[in-house]
Amino acid sequence: MAAVIYIFVCIYITEPMAAGQCAAGKEGILTRKQLEQYKSKKEEIRELEAYISKLGSSESLMGSSTVFDYRSGYPKPQAVVGVDRAEFWKEKEKYDKKIQELKADCEEVEDFILGIEDSLMRRIFRLSYMEGMTQDSVAKDINIHRSTVSKKISDFLKVSHKSQKKMI
């Protein structure tokens, strides 16, 4: 949630700025590592959502308790087995929180990439980081040399980081 608020403030208060600068991390800079982790975080979100959907049937959340059955006139112990609801909600909340953090990180990368003004650069970043394509594949799709893809990414990140540092 804090990242979303930061982006909103950045867009409306600190104009003008270079493309892609608002979707930055805590220091105001989106790093190559953050970009490269995008695909993995998207996969982790899907995995955690699948885990949560199976959580109710998980044996690790099964609990047992003893109750007394008074139907016969005197207490007779009976075992009751089922899902421990308190443990279920605690576990679900923990994973929901992680999913929200991952979604915020992914949204930050998406905003950064979609905020790039240059169409070619935006395409290179989208294909490289959001689609997870190799630089060779990106180069073939865009009809440029692979080394040009690498150079354009490096140059853009350097310029973006330098202009961001000047603003701070």
Q: For all residues of the chain together, what is the average pLDDT? A: 76
Whole-Å CA distances, 112 to 24, 117, 120, 130, 160: 7, 10, 15, 11, 11
Report d(CA 130, CA 98) in Å as an integer.
Answer: 20
At 7-24, the pLDDT tens digits run 332 333 233 334 444 434
Report CA torsion sign: 95, 98, 104, 107.
Answer: negative
Q: Which pLDDT value is given to residue 28?
A: 45
Contact 36, 129 (CB under 8 A): yes
Distance CA 26, CA 4 (A): 11
C-alpha closest to that of 124 among 98, 103, 143, 97: 143
The answer to whether 41 touches 129, Cβ cutoff 8 Å, is no
Confidence at residue 160, expressed as pLDDT on a 0 to 100 scale: 75
pLDDT at 124: 95
Write down the pLDDT at residue 63.
Answer: 60
Q: What confidence score (pLDDT) does residue 91 get?
A: 86
Q: Give 87 or 142, the one with higher predicted confidence.
A: 142
Per domain, the residue ranges of the chain are: 2-167
